Structure 1
Amino acid sequence: MKDKALTRAIVREFGLIQDVVQLENMPLPELAEGDARVKMVYATINPSDIITISGAYRSRISVPFVPGFEGVGVIEQAPADSHLPVGQRVLPIGSMGNWQTFKDTKPEWCFTLPDFVSDRQAVNSYVNPMTALLMLTEALDAKPGQRILVNAANSAIGKMLIRIANQLGMTPIAVVRKRENIDIFEGYQLETVLNSSDAAYLQELQRIRRSGGVHAIFDCIGGDESLTFAEILIPGGQFIHYGLLSGKPVPPQFWRSRPDIRFMNFHLRQWIHSQEKPVVQKRIDQVMELIRDGVVHTEIATAFSLNNISDAIEAAVFGELKGKILIEI
């Protein structure tokens, strides 16, 4: 192992991702006792990576660090008692560090994958699909005939929420921001698709309120729009908040106007770190079955090699490509 090299993307100061990510080569260090070494195959660039690199979580993350919350690889070395044979495909989750040729981690954070899922789908199987599945099956107090609303429904995770909800017997209301996104839901089961840029949008929301309202809202936007959605929730309804696309938090008047609402900030990281490994593995297995059955699918735009990380970042931040940008390692 001593003669092998480690190539990694590293952040030594917080800032714009295109300015602060550097590529470096160094000798591969000795593997710490008890750790597993994963030879990475693919990684992704997610909004969560960009936000972390910007310094939004500097209170709990210090520089330098190797970014990348999502990746897939194969076991290069592992302790004998870990039951992780060399060559076993795994998702090394629970920490950053996937933008490098080798990731050293604890064996308990390496989760096995079935043969029927490709590397390119497996690498996208953690952040969005797991979040969608867990919000619908654990965060949501699900009941038969439940009416739910999903905003930013044209996003990757929005579409996953709808497809998984359909499998669970729900027919969501979808909200998009652009007219061209109204017709992208062929094959989805939806009560209706609303365009928040349309002049009649607020009237449509009031129509939904008058027809009984919604039991739950899945929100990844935040900001003042939260107040609008609060008006259509039934008494005691759920508001499951998991993103801030608006860049603004849910305003304080949200709780003053509707103190009855059951509000939840859903964080995948908190759930993962609160569970035993068999529970997490079972959920990952469920996601893999959803991928196999076509319920969950991630559109992939293209892949760049780790050595061209700057091009991958540019495509992810500035590009017009539709779908995920992968880092091929």
Structure 2
Amino acid sequence: MHAWRGHSFGPPEILVWEEVDDPPLADGELRIDIAASAINFPDVLFTAGAHQVKPTPPFIPGFEVAGLVVESRAPSLPPGTRVAATLPGSGGYATRVIARPSTTYALPDGMPFEDAAALTITYQTGYLALHRRAGVKPGDTVLVHAGAGGVGSAAIQLAKAAGATVIATAGGKDKAAVCHALGADLAIDYHSEDFVAAVKDHTAGRGADIVFDPVGGDVFDRSTRCIAFEGRILVIGFASGHFPAARANHLLVKNYAVIGFYWGTYSRAQPALTRGAQDALYAMYGEGAIRPLISAALPMADARAAMTAVASRATTGKVVLTTQR
């Protein structure tokens, strides 16, 4: 097999495309011939050695893939099965990967591999954060930050599918238009508009019931100024690079909650929940309620340039790497 490997930590340029031995297959595992691998912002952090999971070099980035099972010691997923898989230990920027059946999902008929690779981690994150952690319900107002990004674009669709009113923020008019196209009822270009004032105006002063925040930093701090009574702020990540600190006195007086969500912990500790979420996502996909926003499908050979584009926020939705099949 071939893979993009990092022999040290750094920017995407440190990755090297090289031939590596196929790892042996253990009982219960399966080998997937990769057709598509989705890029996520955490892949950049992983390569830089700044992710929550710090690998030991040499390492292969990539946490979500789709392809064909070519060897299996898992009876439920025989060779020839079209699957998507999430990889808590990474390894997706390659031609083949080993996966566990607990985090591998047989694809619905007709689902393209590109959609399948983009419809796992970010959508499981949005689904479980909104439904399990925040208890989203019809009529809620959900504020989604970075709505044109990978996890934000998923959250917009999932909140709308749950019957919520969605307000999204994005950087620039073009990205705000993307949020509108995804279903946002109000899209705010934070370069030219104060989202706090816009949220209060749109909700007649009440504020957002749920804030979906993958940015952190100042965005989190300002979100506390437009959260509704008994609202919930979902801490999804820190794309800004700054970790905010919740003010306990403000939490007490305004009666809102700050709720963390990290997909990796759920995937390892409660894989039944992520599987249930994936089943629900496939049903929603089949009904046309959700569809991954894939702004580019590029050859695996372009992995380094694609990662750089994602890191610079030059993309929308997801970028997917494809291999020849």
TM-score, normalised to structure 2, is: 0.86
Which of 204, 209, 214 pairs up with 2:208? 214
Q: Deviations over 1:239-259 (max 9, x none)?
A: 10112222211135x334334
1:272 aligns with 2:267: yes
> Compared with structure 1, are the counterparts of its residues 86 and 215 closer, same or farther at alpha carbon in structure 2 (3 Å cutoff)?
same
Q: Which 5+ residue runs of structure 2 have no aligned equivalent? A: none
CA contact (8 A) 2:36 2:113 kept: yes
The whole-number CA distance in structure 2 between the counterparts of 1:199 and 1:109 is 41
1:238 aligns with 2:200: no
Which of 248, 257, 261 pairs up with 2:256? 261
User: What SS does structure 2 have at the residue aligned with 1:76?
Assistant: strand
User: What SS does structure 2 have at the residue aligned with 1:224?
Assistant: helix
Q: What displacement does 1:170 show?
A: 1.1
1:110 aligns with 2:110: no
**In the alignment, what sits opposite 1:64?**
58
141-150 or 166-175, which moves further after superposition? 141-150
Letter in 1 for 2:211: I
**In the alignment, what sits opposite 1:44?**
38
> Compared with structure 1, are the counterparts of its residues 113 and 142 closer, same or farther at alpha carbon in structure 2 (3 Å cutoff)?
same
User: What SS does structure 2 have at the residue aligned with 1:82?
Assistant: coil
Give the fraction of aligned pairs with identical amino acids, expressed as a percent.
21
Q: Deviations over 1:263-293 (max 9, x none)?
A: 112111112222244x433321221232333
1:326 aligns with 2:320: yes
305-314 or 151-160, which moves further after superposition? 305-314
**In the alignment, what sits opposite 2:126?**
132
The whole-number CA distance in structure 2 between the counterparts of 1:317 and 1:202 is 26
**1:136-147 to 2 correspondences below 5 Å:** 136-147=130-141
CA contact (8 A) 2:36 2:67 kept: yes
**In the alignment, what sits opposite 2:142?**
148
Segments ≥4 residues shifted beyond 6 Å: none
**In the alignment, what sits opposite 2:113?**
119
Letter in 2 for 1:82: P
Q: What displacement does 1:7 show?
A: 0.9
The whole-number CA distance in structure 1 between the counterparts of 2:137 and 2:297 is 41
Q: Which 5+ residue runs of structure 1 have no aligned equivalent? A: 1-5
Q: What displacement does 1:308 show?
A: 4.7
**1:175-324 to 2 correspondences below 5 Å:** 175-184=169-178, 185-186=180-181, 188=183, 190=185, 192-198=186-192, 201-207=195-201, 211-252=205-246, 254-259=247-252, 260-277=255-272, 279-317=273-311, 324=318
> Compared with structure 1, are the counterparts of its residues 169 and 35 closer, same or farther at alpha carbon in structure 2 (3 Å cutoff)?
closer
Q: Deviations over 1:206-229 (max 9, x none)?
A: 545763222221112211232221
The whole-number CA distance in structure 1 between the counterparts of 2:228 and 2:94 is 47
Q: What displacement does 1:310 show?
A: 3.9
268-277 or 28-37, which moves further after superposition? 28-37
TM-score, normalised to structure 1, is: 0.85
The whole-number CA distance in structure 2 between the counterparts of 1:132 and 1:193 is 18
**1:155-166 to 2 correspondences below 5 Å:** 155-166=149-160
User: What SS does structure 2 have at the residue aligned with 1:172?
Assistant: strand
The whole-number CA distance in structure 2 between the counterparts of 1:59 and 1:76 is 28
Q: What displacement does 1:161 show?
A: 1.9
> Compared with structure 1, are the counterparts of its residues 179 and 316 closer, same or farther at alpha carbon in structure 2 (3 Å cutoff)?
closer
The whole-number CA distance in structure 2 between the counterparts of 1:55 and 1:179 is 33
Q: What displacement does 1:138 show?
A: 0.9
Which of 82, 99, 103 pairs up with 2:75? 82
Letter in 1 for 2:250: S
**In the alignment, what sits opposite 1:3?**
none
What is the RMSD computed on CA atoms of the aligned residues? 2.7
Which of 6, 11, 29 pairs up with 1:35? 29
